[in-house]
Amino acid sequence: MGEAAGLYYERRGPRNGTPLILSPGLGGSASYWQPNVAALAERHDVIGYDHRGTGRSSRDVAGVLTIETMGDDIAALMDATGIERATVIGHAIGGMAGLALALAHPDRVERLVVVNGWATLDPYTARCFDTRLTLLRSAGPRAYLRAQPIFLYPPQWISEHDDAMEAEVEAQLATMPTPDMIERRIAAARRFDVADRLRALSVATLLVASDDDALVPCACSERLKAAAGGDVQLARMAHGGHACNVTRAGHFNLWLLDWLDG
């Protein structure tokens, strides 16, 4: 573990392996990737990090927060850790940060994986964001966190893991972004729109989408693939929810490693 450019990061795996940067979603915490790190680090140089403004990274985020500045942070982390080129694996807005970096600096991105992301905000996702913000503003952070699994996981998975998720709420309260930062991160996700730039995407890309995602319709990945240029593949899971790399970690890890090493 370490700190670079104001970003907390954890590094595992052989340093001579292919560098993989793991970029989390809205919550911004590197711990999101815990079910995947060990499998990826067997052969790869894996770096997970907390987004700026979240977790153990600097909470000082000046100016307007954008997905593009999140992409710049990936480049800053690479510079600080001596990595010239890396594969970026991102969940939701973490994947979109990787997409923004790949469009702006394709020389820095070896390959790109976007899990349940989008190129343009879908009206359904906008309604979900509205609902989550209403909860945060009216009922507070605890209610926001207790409702969060509804958007991340399939119903049966929530039923089977309810006790564990309830036990995690206190720890999550201590590390979650401030309400203002959550507002800013959702605003950045709303503004992100690169649909008219996707033909310029030159980086080999894997899109992963879940048919039962309760936050981001899988059609978002379908539209992204249709609009993109270059080598873009779409892998769809019949079930797994928005956090499919958590709920179906074994399947996801095998699928991802097959693509990375194939």
CB 24 within 8 A of CB 32: yes
Residue 27 phi/psi, 5° resolution?
-65, -30
Give the residue ranges of DSSP H helices in 41-88.
67-80
pLDDT (tens digit per residue) in 228-262: 988 999 999 999 999 999 999 999 999 999 999 97
Rg (CA), the chain: 17
Predicted model pTM: 0.97
Distance CA 253, CA 259 (A): 10
pLDDT (tens digit per residue) in 161-206: 999 999 999 999 988 999 999 999 999 999 999 999 999 999 999 9
| Cα angle, residue 73 at apex, residues 176 and 65 outer, rounded to 5° | 60
Task: Write down the pLDDT at residue 229.
Answer: 81
Q: What is the mean pLDDT of residues 19-27?
A: 98
Task: Write down the pLDDT at residue 188.
Answer: 98
User: Considering only CA atoms, which of 142, 175, 151, 177 is closest in space to residue 241?
Assistant: 151
CB atoms within 10 A of CB 189: 23
Give the neighbor-by-neighbor strand order of the sheet with 7-12: 2-4, 7-12, 44-49, 18-23, 86-91, 109-115, 204-210, 232-237
Q: What is the mean pLDDT of residues 54-64?
A: 93
Q: What is the mean pLDDT of residues 37-66?
A: 96
Distance CA 70, CA 68 (A): 5
**Domains of the chain in sequence order:** 2-261 (3.40.50.1820)
